[in-house]
Amino acid sequence: MLIINESSLAQLTDWTSLIDQMIKAMIAYEDGDFVMPERISMGFSNNSLLLMPAQSGKYFSTKLVSQFPDNPSKNEPVIKGIVVLNNGENGEPLAVINGAKLTAIRTAAVSAAGIRFTTPENVTSLGLIGAGVQGMHQILAACIVRPIERIYILDKYTERTQAFIACLSSSLPDVQLLKVNTGEELLEHSEVIITATNSNKPVLPDNAGLLRDKHIIAIGSYKPQMRELPDALFTLIDHCFVDVRFALEESGDLIHPIEMGLLKQKQVIPIGSLIRGKVTADTNRTTLFKLVGMALFDLYTAQWFYEKAIRLNAGENVYF
């Protein structure tokens, strides 16, 4: 069995190929070419433990991951865990993969795929709310699909923003990385906005004028009480594109506007339908892509890393 740790994942990462792999997963989801039970979630205090299995093609996988939203205040990542990849023909465990790093990579690749289909090709400015581990991966992937020249960064832990910028600057030497102090300032300067927080209240201003013609990628709200998006946003969109249909049941960013009559369920469309050409998106107007994640993304990502590690003789073999 192969062990693929955080360092190996970083070395093996090819954003362009991984983004294409996530598009394949979105198409598989749209076509129903998978088995994926509902995730098992156990909550305690403000924390969560998730068990997420999926099968498609010749593999199946299981992700066991914890989410501790208060970890950034301790200088620790929110997400920790593992992904186990198995042979779908005989059940043999093939790999154990660092779950936190895999989750960060696959979520960023999914977001970048969403940017590819919901934004104009010539956008050059990006705003990020949430300067954590996930936010860093989000920026790296977004810069692959669009010619980003300026990135505006907002975080409630203001002291860590400069360290975040310093860490990214070596990877993006030709991109301006700028700290901002308010959501209004971020919206004013950014065409594409990524929200990557654990907030229970909107992190963007409730101002339709500032939100008009912006392109929002929202990844943070994965519980009913969590919200990143303001009410005004839902008055500007024709569709809310989602990664999975059960986002309607999990995310406060969808539950709240539906309860308030600001969004209709028929407006919530899996992004696979957009990729397949069943619906269209006017990228000259306000767009929204809301992610909550699913085990099928973990499976497709684990498969990609496992097959590349085998080709390159990467990772560490262990025997039981």
Q: How many residues does the chain have?
A: 320
Residue 71's pLDDT is what?
A: 87
For 316, the token pair is: 């560490």
Residue 223's pLDDT band (cuts 50, 70, 90) = confident
- Asked whether the predicted pLDDT for residue 320 surpasses 80, the reply is no
Q: Where are the domains of the chain?
A: 2-103+295-317, 118-290
Domain 118-290 annotated CATH 3.40.50.720: yes
- Above pLDDT 70, what percent of the chain? 100
With CA atoms as reference, report the closest residue to 295 among 44, 84, 31, 45: 84
Q: What are the angstrom distances between the C-alpha of 90 and each of 14, 86, 93, 162, 247?
A: 29, 8, 9, 49, 33
State mean pLDDT over 261-273: 96
pTM score, whole prediction: 0.94
For 160, the token pair is: 């860590």
State mean pLDDT over 212-231: 94
Residue 294's pLDDT is what?
A: 95
CA distance 237 to 257: 12
- Written as one string, the DSSP assignment of 184-205 is HHHHHH-SEEEE----SS-SS-
Q: Work out the angle at residue 63's Cα, subtended by the Cα atoms of residues 60 and 65, and round it to the nearest 5 degrees.
A: 180
- Asked whether the predicted pLDDT for residue 234 surpasses 80, the reply is yes
Q: What are the angstrom distances between the C-alpha of 210 and each of 7, 122, 225, 232?
A: 40, 20, 25, 10
CATH class of 2-103+295-317: alpha beta
Residue 32's contacts (CB-CB under 8 Å, 6 or more residues apart) are none
The answer to whether 186 and 193 are in contact (CB under 8 A) is yes
Tell which phi-psi region holds residue 236, choosing left (phi > 0), alpha (psi between -120 and 50) or beta. alpha
The answer to whether 189 and 152 are in contact (CB under 8 A) is yes
pLDDT tens readout for residues 75-131: 888 889 999 999 999 999 999 999 999 999 999 999 999 999 999 999 999 999 999
CA distance 167 to 261: 42
The answer to whether 124 and 150 are in contact (CB under 8 A) is yes
pLDDT tens readout for residues 281-299: 999 999 999 999 999 999 9
CA distance 110 to 296: 11
Burial class (CB in 10 A: 0-12, 13-18, 19+), 253: buried
Pairing of strands 316-317, 2-4: antiparallel
pLDDT tens readout for residues 168-182: 999 999 999 999 999
Residue 34's pLDDT is what?
A: 97
